[in-house]
């Protein structure tokens, strides 16, 4: 199954000033996160980002600030390790207003709320074995399809990072890379954004 652009939302977990210097392969991970946000902005993919205990770990790193603004990203400050415990699920799947008027007189496709239109959550962040893992598992519980971008995730140690990926895969999370996300969103070299996508990964 390929990632569907029209069903996707992007969520970045805790790329924060006091956290990133301790992350394994931090600069490469951050560069991939930036590519994801820039691509999401280009393709108008709804984007969200979280900050764990921002008074302690600081704000999101400066490298992501401009891309996140361009993507019109919404932020969620949290103390729980799982962002779902702090309301992420409601942000990703807001309540749909009931259609106005006599339901029987409406076309069939308007008679039901259009819930679940963007249920593919593309997830990346730090630390992979704590906040990202717990958020991903809770999103699965809430019946989202979860896709974790492995080369845009990190932990302080390789063992913890890889243990997170093993557990996520076993739970049914799709594991993929930044370039896989980009080219599955595009699907074709004829996509209007193809040249801009190429520039992002060079």
Tell me, yes or no, if 131 is annotated catalytic. yes
Distance of CA 3 to the CA centre of its chain: 13
Catalytic residue among 119, 131, 151, 153: 131
Of the listed 78, 126, 145, 153, which one is catalytic? Answer: 78
Active site residue 142: no
Active-site annotation, residues: 14, 78, 131
């Amino acid at each position: 199954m390929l990632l569907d652009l029209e069903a996707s939302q992007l969520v970045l977990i805790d790329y924060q000033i006091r956290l990133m210097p301790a992350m394994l392969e931090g600069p490469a991970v951050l560069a991939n996160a930036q590519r994801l946000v820039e691509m999401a902005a280009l393709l108008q993919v709804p984007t969200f980002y979280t900050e764990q205990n921002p008074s302690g770990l600081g704000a999101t790193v400066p490298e992501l600030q401009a891309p996140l603004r361009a993507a019109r990203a919404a932020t969620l400050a949290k103390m729980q390790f799982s962002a779902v415990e702090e309301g992420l699920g409601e942000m990703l799947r807001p309540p749909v207003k009931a259609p106005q008027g006599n339901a029987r007189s409406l076309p069939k496709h308007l008679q039901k709320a259009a819930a679940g239109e963007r249920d593919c959550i593309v997830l990346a962040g730090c630390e992979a074995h704590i906040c990202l893992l717990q958020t991903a598992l809770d999103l699965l519980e809430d019946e989202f399809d979860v896709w974790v971008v492995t080369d845009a995730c990190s932990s302080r140690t390789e063992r913890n990072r890889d243990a997170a990926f093993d557990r996520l895969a076993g739970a049914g999370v799709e594991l993929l890379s930044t370039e896989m996300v980009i080219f599955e969103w595009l699907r074709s070299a004829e996509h209007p954004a193809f040249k801009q996508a190429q520039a992002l990964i060079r």
